[in-house]
């Protein structure tokens, strides 16, 4: 029997073959290690997605749910992931009519950041969520799917609603209180007016009339607040115009020699700052009407309210007999001037008087003291459409 001769390979070829086999074994080991590492990374990523308290999802353009994490499942109250995958996205919207605006916004922007919407859980309870979603497309621009995350903000929404209700109730209570203050002031002013009828002494009558006008000027502010519906701010120009009208009606009838000119910038101030302005105008204007034009002398009183970037300036000016010791009166004077100084100090403003040709009273108040942080610019922005 003939034996086949075994083919002999050169030693160099054998060595090359051994090295190649060793390289393949190393490559296979590396591939296996890479696969294990990749699997471990994927597992860690999947575990992370399952544990975070934010719902992760992927859906098709037709509304089929392709994938979700456990937080998404729990948020909507389903038993498990497979049960939720059988539900169409349209069926988890609290109101199906809200889905189209949502999709329209997504189509237009491509990405939604913090879009708030209502979803319905399996048990029927409605929850509020914030949605972060993006539309994923292929290289041809065709829509493949939607993917994103949702965060349950129901508790925050409920807190916001409770706060809004509390604020509305507080505002209503404050409006009612202001209305009661207005009525009380009007009643007090009316009682003072009734008492004036029983007073024969002209000096006493004058004091009571002045007191009644002071009360009425304050009541005017609350009347404006009541009709405007505001509880925190008042239009200073409107308020001062009402004060001037009331004083003119009280003192000028039968004295057609006195004219009043008014020019106001539109200024909105904090309610607490409105009353001092009203009392300042009440005192100065009353004094001008009574003393600037003796013996039926003709003249004009001008009231000017100007808003600048850093200050509000109120100027009352007459072209009457003037006040020879105006500067001295600014620091001394009677009860009326003392009240004016008190009000100016309350506003942290400055007061100056000039009396050479007529009398000019100037009050300058910083904008921040009026509840204005940026003067004219802020007011113009508030009135912009």
Annotate 262-306 with DSSP letters as a single string.
EEE---EEEHHHHHHHHHHHHHHHHHHHHHSSGGG--EEEEEEEE
Task: Return the pLDDT at 292.
Answer: 85
CA gap 206, 289 in Å, rounded: 13
Q: Distance between CA atoms of 202 and 207, rounded to whole angstroms?
A: 9
What is the pLDDT at residue 375?
A: 46
Task: Assess if residue 186 is contained within a domain.
Answer: no
Domain of 111, CATH number, reads: 3.30.450.20
Q: How would residue 377 be classed by pLDDT, with cut points 50, 70 and 90?
A: very low
Of 152, 178, 197, the position where a domain reaches its end is 152
340 in a structural domain: yes
Domain end point (choices 152, 170, 187): 152
d(CA 192, CA 187): 9
- Does residue 382 lie within any of the structural domains? yes
The neighbour count for residue 15, using CB atoms within 10 Å, is 11
pLDDT reported for residue 297: 85
CA distance 254 to 165: 53
Q: For the chain, what is the domain count?
A: 2
- CA distances in angstroms from 295 to 37, 88, 247, 290, 298, listed in the order given: 106, 91, 20, 11, 9
Q: Residue range 253-257: average pLDDT?
A: 70
Average pLDDT over residues 225-254: 80
| Enclosing domain of residue 325 | 258-274+287-385
Of 152, 173, 193, which residue constitutes the final position of a domain?
A: 152
Residue 37 lies in a domain: no
* Most confident listed range (24-33, 74-83, 322-331): 74-83
The predicted structure's pLDDT at residue 365: 93
The residue assigned the tokens 């009644």 is 212
Q: What is the DSSP letter of 97?
A: G
- As a whole number of angstroms, the distance between CA 360 and CA 144 comes to 77
């Amino acid at each position: 029997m003939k034996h086949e001769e075994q083919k002999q390979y050169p030693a160099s070829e054998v060595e090359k073959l051994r090295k190649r086999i060793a390289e393949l074994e190393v490559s296979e080991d590396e591939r296996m290690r890479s696969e294990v590492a990749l699997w471990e990374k994927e597992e860690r990523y999947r575990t992370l997605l399952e544990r975070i308290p934010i719902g992760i999802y992927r859906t098709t353009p037709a509304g089929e749910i392709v994938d979700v994490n456990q937080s998404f499942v729990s948020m909507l109250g389903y038993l498990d992931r497979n049960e939720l995958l059988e539900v169409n996205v349209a069926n988890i919207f609290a109101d199906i009519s809200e889905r189209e605006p949502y999709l329209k916004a997504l189509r237009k922007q491509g990405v939604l950041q913090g879009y708030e919407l209502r979803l319905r859980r399996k048990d029927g309870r409605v929850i509020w969520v914030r949605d972060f979603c993006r539309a994923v497309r292929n290289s041809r621009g065709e829509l493949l799917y939607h993917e994103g995350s949702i965060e349950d903000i129901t508790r925050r929404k409920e807190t916001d609603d409770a706060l809004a209700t509390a604020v509305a109730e507080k505002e209503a209570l404050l409006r009612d209180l202001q209305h009661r203050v207005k009525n009380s002031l009007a009643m007090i002013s009316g009682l003072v007016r009734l008492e004036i009828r029983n007073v024969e002494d002209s000096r006493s009558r004058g004091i009571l009339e002045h007191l009644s006008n002071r009360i009425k000027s304050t009541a005017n502010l609350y009347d404006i607040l009541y009709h405007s519906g505001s509880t925190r701010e008042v239009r200073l120009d409107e308020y001062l115009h009402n004060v001037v009208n009331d004083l003119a009606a009280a003192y000028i009838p039968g004295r057609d020699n006195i004219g009043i000119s008014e020019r106001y910038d539109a200024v909105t101030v904090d309610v607490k700052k409105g009353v001092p302005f009203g009392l300042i105008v009440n005192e100065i204007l009353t004094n001008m009407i009574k003393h600037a034009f003796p013996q039926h002398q003709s003249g004009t009183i001008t009231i000017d309210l100007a808003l600048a970037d850093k200050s509000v300036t109120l100027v009352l000016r007459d072209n009457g007999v003037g006040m020879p010791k105006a500067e001295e009166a600014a620091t001394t004077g009677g009860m009326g001037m003392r009240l004016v100084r008190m009000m100016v100090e309350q506003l942290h403003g400055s007061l100056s008087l000039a009396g050479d040709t007529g009398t000019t009273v100037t009050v300058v108040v910083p904008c921040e003291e009026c509840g204005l942080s940026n003067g004219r610019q802020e007011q113009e922005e508030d009135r912009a459409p």
